[in-house]
Structure formats: C-alpha cells, structure tokens
Amino acid sequence: MSSENDDNLPEWFKKRRTPSSKDPFFGNIDNMFHEVEEMIEDKFKIFHEKWSKEYIKERKLSDGSTVKELGPFVYGYSMKIDSDDNPDIQKSVTLKSHKCPEIKDECEPLVDVVNNTEEIHVVVELPGVEKTDIKLYGTENSLTISVDTSSHKYYKEIELPVKTCIIEAKSTYKNGVLEVVIPKL
C-alpha cells in the first residue's frame, strides 16, 4: 500500500494507513478517538486563555448570589439577490478575529436593505416585539431602529446607500418583520 508519495502525506494520515496487528480496519480507532479528544481539549484551553476573560459576565440573581455567564456568541448568514440576480451571501460572526467586540445588552437584528430604482426597502427581523415598542429615527443618510423592553432589546444603525426623503417613509410590521419603504431624493 506504500508508494513514493507517502512522504508527502501528513503524519496523522500515515498512522491511519498502518494496519494494526489485531484488526486491519478498526485497530487504531481507540487511538484516533483519543487524539481527537486531545485536540478538542487543546482548542478549549486556547479558547479559555484568549477569549473567556473578554466574554465572562457576572449576573446577580434575585437571591443575592452571582452567576458567571459566557457569551454571547453569534453566528449566522444573510442572503440577498443583487440586481443581476446573483446571490450575495454574507456570514455574520461575533468572533471575527482575535479582537473581541464589545458586549452589549441589546441584540443587533437581521437587516436587509434593498435599493430599488425609486425607493429603499429596509426589512428588519424583530421577533417577539410589539409594534408600539419599535422606535425609528431617520435622516436622509441613515435609519436607526431600537427596541427597549424588559424582554427584548434591539438596536441597529443602518447607513442608507443613497440620500432619501425620510419624511415620506412608510413602515409596516407583521409577524416579527418590520419593513420600511423610503423614497429616494
């Protein structure tokens, strides 16, 4: 089973290609699981050393005791179709680099901005929110959305792609989705 190209293979792969004296197929499986467990442990150690201090919060409970919480960690995707009908998929991750973002009490809602010929459509996901709790503030260049209730806190500042006539903006809210339509100047 050896060849001249074995020297180019990673060491962990070479180990798996060496048959065990007991069983040529499952002989090394215990060693493989042990190595995977060690790799995971090492990753958690690195995570704990580099990241946990930035993400640990203490919260006081009603009985006076305190609890340490780790997070928040957010990972997701957003997809929109551009003017040429091509998908534009963007990944949103809290942990983008070795620099930790600031932890805030409010969440940033998912937002999609669609630039049509005559108007801008801003679609915002605000699950679990009442329409009366949504506050909108706009200028000709930006739109700010905020919700501050005991159970939901959202905040997002959106830079609009063109100057708009914010006075003529119209909004609708249904099933946790806010849509704001703003005419262009």
Q: What is the pLDDT of residues 88-105, one digit of tens each?
A: 776 665 543 334 445 556
pLDDT for the residue 115: 93
- Mean predicted confidence (pLDDT) in 151-177: 93
pLDDT tens sequence across 123-150: 999 988 999 999 999 999 999 999 998 8
Is residue 143 included in any domain, yes or no? yes
- Mean predicted confidence (pLDDT) in 141-165: 92
What Rg do the C-alpha atoms of the chain give, in angstroms?
26
Is residue 149 included in any domain, yes or no? yes
Domain count, the chain: 1
DSSP result, 112-166? EEEE-SSEEEEEEE-TT--GGGEEEEE-SSEEEEEEE-SS-EEEEEEE-SS-B-G
Is residue 138 included in any domain, yes or no? yes
- Mean predicted confidence (pLDDT) in 147-167: 91
pTM for this predicted structure: 0.48
| Element containing residue 16 per DSSP (H, E) | helix 11-17
Is residue 68 included in any domain, yes or no? no
- Give the CATH number, domain containing residue 164: 2.60.40.790
- Is residue 124 within 8 Å of residue 77, measured between CB atoms? no
Question: Is the per-residue pLDDT at 183 higher than 80?
Answer: yes
Residue among 117, 182, 118 nearest 144 (CA): 182
pLDDT for the residue 7: 67
| Element containing residue 34 per DSSP (H, E) | helix 29-50
pLDDT tens sequence across 2-23: 455 566 666 766 665 555 445 5
- Better-predicted residue by pLDDT, 13 or 36: 36
Q: Which domain holds residue 111?
A: 104-183
pLDDT tens sequence across 40-84: 888 877 776 766 566 667 778 888 888 877 666 666 666 777 778
